[in-house]
């Protein structure tokens, strides 16, 4: 599941737990927070502040280990200090806004598909691999987007410059400085630095956006915010199937990331299916998502994402009022 090579949710949870204390009166918030910590805390997160002073971490994919990398306390601490600001900035709504070229993305995507193709024997296996890549992204998006939309707009940017800016600008100095500090006072140096920053971001949040609980709300979330985040526009349509009760469709007339790929029997949009499924799964709407090419008039690349919810979702939906 959550592999560690890029586990940003860690400090995320860390931060959320702080928030939980601050705003415990919001029941909804608590519910969401519970879910998040339940799903997200990663047992493999070995580089916790307590471990920073050169102790060994635990890696669940390997199990107990005799010899772990003998990283010096200082370098771990400086990594920590460095990455903490990375977390901090990346969580901030103002952090989103930078771009890379479509070409760069297309080449990366192209190579990902090639890899999947080389490693697979059948078409459905290729699609499954692409789906899996997307799924990992979807899992992260739900929390990231909800969190960011909770930060009061406007208050953010100036703060971001004050605290985040200089830290980033002098990353080298800051890292070494913090490294020395925490080397001297142990792990507390690094963690208090982190806390200070976490709190200042928390102060910009009055109410946590809750996770969507109704089926239509969560679909709207995918159709709107998720699509806008990914492709800079909402999807073209959200439709309920007239034939099957549990089936919904999200329609994209001009799919962005597969736009350079001439149609083949492999449906590369399964990557996006994975993203959708990841978001919905984590929001507790288990489902299966498939992509179908359905050209229409002038949109000859039009793709329909069919979302089939598990039966339990409909049952739960019927219970509520």
Range 216-235, binding other proteins (CB under 8 A): 229-232
Retrieve residue 256's tokens: 């962005």
Residue 103 binds to other proteins (criterion: CB under 8 A):
yes
Sequence-separated (6 or more) residues with CB below 8 Å from residue 43: 58, 60
Residue 94 binds to other proteins (criterion: CB under 8 A):
no
Retrieve residue 160's tokens: 């971001």
**Binding residue for other proteins, selected from 175, 218, 276, 303, defined by CB under 8 A:** 175
**Binding residue for other proteins, selected from 133, 209, 308, 316, defined by CB under 8 A:** 133
Residue 177 binds to other proteins (criterion: CB under 8 A):
no
Retrieve residue 257's tokens: 């990331």
Residue 114 binds to other proteins (criterion: CB under 8 A):
yes
Give the CB-side neighbour count of residue 134, counting CA atoms within 13 A.
28
Residue 266 binds to other proteins (criterion: CB under 8 A):
yes
Residue 238 binds to other proteins (criterion: CB under 8 A):
no
Residue 57 binds to other proteins (criterion: CB under 8 A):
yes
| In contact, 82 and 233? CB cutoff 8 Å | no
DSSP three-state, residue 205: strand
Q: How many CB atoms lie within 10 A of CB 253?
A: 16
How many residues in the shown chain lie near other proteins by CB under 8 A?
Answer: 73
Residue 105 binds to other proteins (criterion: CB under 8 A):
yes
**Binding residue for other proteins, selected from 29, 88, 92, 109, defined by CB under 8 A:** 109
Q: Which of 58, 159 has the CB closer to other proteins?
A: 58
Q: In what order do the strands lie in the sheet with 237-240?
A: 237-240, 247-252, 303-309, 287-293
Closest Cα partner for 21 from 202, 186, 192?
202
Of 27-35, 59-67, 214-222, 243-251, the segment contacting other proteins by CB under 8 A is 59-67
Residue 56 binds to other proteins (criterion: CB under 8 A):
yes
| In contact, 148 and 140? CB cutoff 8 Å | no
Q: Which of 27, 118 has the CB closer to other proteins?
A: 118
- Measured between alpha carbons, how far is 41 from 4 in angstroms, rounded to an integer? 11
Residue 15 binds to other proteins (criterion: CB under 8 A):
no
- Measured between alpha carbons, how far is 321 from 319 in angstroms, rounded to an integer? 7
Q: How many CB atoms lie within 10 A of CB 122?
A: 9
Q: Which of 198, 248 has the CB closer to other proteins?
A: 198
Of 15-23, 40-48, 188-196, 234-242, the segment contacting other proteins by CB under 8 A is 40-48
- Measured between alpha carbons, how far is 316 from 112 in angstroms, rounded to an integer? 37
**Binding residue for other proteins, selected from 24, 50, 104, 239, defined by CB under 8 A:** 104
Length of the chain: 321
Residue 170 binds to other proteins (criterion: CB under 8 A):
no
**Binding residue for other proteins, selected from 23, 30, 37, 115, defined by CB under 8 A:** 115
Residue 113 binds to other proteins (criterion: CB under 8 A):
yes
Query: What minimum distance in Å lies between the beta carbon of 142 and other proteins?
Result: 13
């Amino acid at each position: 599941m959550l592999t560690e090579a890029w586990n940003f949710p860690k400090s995320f949870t860390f931060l959320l737990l702080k928030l939980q204390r601050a705003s415990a009166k919001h029941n909804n918030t608590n519910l969401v927070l519970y879910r998040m910590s339940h799903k997200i805390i990663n047992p493999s997160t070995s580089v916790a502040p307590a471990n920073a002073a050169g102790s060994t971490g635990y890696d669940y994919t390997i199990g107990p280990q005799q010899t772990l990398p003998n990283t010096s306390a200082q370098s771990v601490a400086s990594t920590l200090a460095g990455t903490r600001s990375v977390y901090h900035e990346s969580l901030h709504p103002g952090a989103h806004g930078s771009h890379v070229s479509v070409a760069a993305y297309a080449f990366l995507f192209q190579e990902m598909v090639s890899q999947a193709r080389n490693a697979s024997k059948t078409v459905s296996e290729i699609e499954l691999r692409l789906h899996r890549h997307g799924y990992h992204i979807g899992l992260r998006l739900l929390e990231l987007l909800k969190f960011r939309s909770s930060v009061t707009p406007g208050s953010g940017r100036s703060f971001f410059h004050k605290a985040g800016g200089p830290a980033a600008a002098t990353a080298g100095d800051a890292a070494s400085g913090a490294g020395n500090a925490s080397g001297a006072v142990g792990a507390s140096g690094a963690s208090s630095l982190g806390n200070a920053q976490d709190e200042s971001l928390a102060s910009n949040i009055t109410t946590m956006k809750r996770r969507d609980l109704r089926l239509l709300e969560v679909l709207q979330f995918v159709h709107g915010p998720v699509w806008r985040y990914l492709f800079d526009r909402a999807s073209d349509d959200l439709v309920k199937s007239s034939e099957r009760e549990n089936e919904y469709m999200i329609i994209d007339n001009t799919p962005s990331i597969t736009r350079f790929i001439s149609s083949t029997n492999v449906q590369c949009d399964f990557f996006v299916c994975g993203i959708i499924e990841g978001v919905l799964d984590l929001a507790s709407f288990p489902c299966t998502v498939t992509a179908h090419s359905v050209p229409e008039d002038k949109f000859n690349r039009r793709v329909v994402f069919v979302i089939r919810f598990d039966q339990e979702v409909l049952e739960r939906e019927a219970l509520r009022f």
